[in-house]
Amino acid sequence: MWRYLAAISLFVSVEAQAQDAGPDWQWDQSDGCAVIQRVAGSKEMLELSQSPGTDEVMVALSDSRIKTAAYQKITKISLSMEPGGDLIGDGRLIRETDDDAAKVVVDISDQRFLEAFAKTSAIAVSHEKLGVLRRAVRSPSDAVHALLECENAKLRTWGIDPKYLRALRERPRPLKPLDQLFSSDDYPPGYALNNVEGELVLRLTIGTDGKVKDCVPLNRRADRYFLQNVCGKLKLLARFQPALDQQGQVVPAPFVTAATFAMER
């Protein structure tokens, strides 16, 4: 089974979390650039995470009032910030390990989201399957600052200048989801037969023509056959809306993405 991952925070070293997240937030030690705010005396939780080098942000709310027997994908979840306006994103419903609560996760792809979140005092998620879940947000600017510092640290280890990336008016964007370029045929046959699995984190260089000019592995144990398959196809088929600088000129820019090869069970 071939899977292309939208978010890459699982590949972020906990070493990047050395900075203080503030008194109202704590680092999620199981993830990467992710912070959690808990509601005292309950299992309610607000989690905010960012995938370094991308516009991908994940907002998650755990609540004992929502239940699910299994993982469920959910589309068109409404996320509202007070102040900050409304967004629509896709996501999923995940059962918590103690079965007394479930987590609703909303995936946001918007470069301006964290800037808006830093000023909000409350956030609400609504969907016909969930009703409305609302959280007061304490010290939102502390969470955003911590995530950006975490991203800065990781980008530097990946050979990416965070100042250059943030100075762009527009970052590179795939013209269509990258997972649509791949199928199970891209799994090396011998690996599939022997249940060999692997993960890739990649730094792509997107040229001014929107094509992938370079594809560099960022994780230490990147298998060369997986790497050849993925990088070769990305260079051949992937097309991006190229990055723009502050003057509106097309410029080359990095794009970070991740993928995993795993056998379906």
* DSSP string of 78-140, one letter each residue: EEEEETTEEEEEEEEEEE-TTSS-EEEEEEEE-TTHHHHHTT-SEEEEEETTTEEEEEE-SSH
Q: Say yes or no to pLDDT of 195 above 90.
A: no
| 221-to-110, 168, 180, 262 alpha-carbon distances in Å | 31, 31, 25, 15
Task: Provide the token pair at 190.
Answer: 């011998």
Q: Are 162 and 147 in contact (CB under 8 A)?
A: no
Beta-carbon count within 10 A of 213 CB: 12
Question: Dihedral angle at the C-alpha atoms of 208, 236, 227, 32, nearest 10 degrees?
Answer: 40
What band does 48 get if pLDDT is binned at 50, 70 and 90? very high
Read off the pLDDT of each residue in 193-197 and give the average, rounded to a whole number: 79
pLDDT digits (tens, 9 = 90+) for 19-32: 677 889 999 865 56
pLDDT value at position 98? 61
Instruction: Considering only residues 200 and 66, tell me which one the structure prediction assigns the higher pLDDT.
Output: 200
Q: Say yes or no to pLDDT of 59 above 90.
A: yes
Helix (H) or strand (E) holding 162: helix 162-167
pLDDT value at position 39? 82
pLDDT value at position 99? 57
pLDDT digits (tens, 9 = 90+) for 110-135: 878 999 999 999 999 998 888 898 99
Helix (H) or strand (E) holding 153: helix 140-157
pLDDT value at position 248? 96
Cβ-based neighbours of 28, under 8 Å, separated by 6 or more: 34, 35, 36, 47, 49
The pLDDT > 70 percentage for the chain reads: 88
pLDDT value at position 13? 44
pLDDT digits (tens, 9 = 90+) for 226-249: 899 899 999 999 999 999 999 999
Instruction: Considering only residues 173 and 5, tell me which one the structure prediction assigns the higher pLDDT.
Output: 173
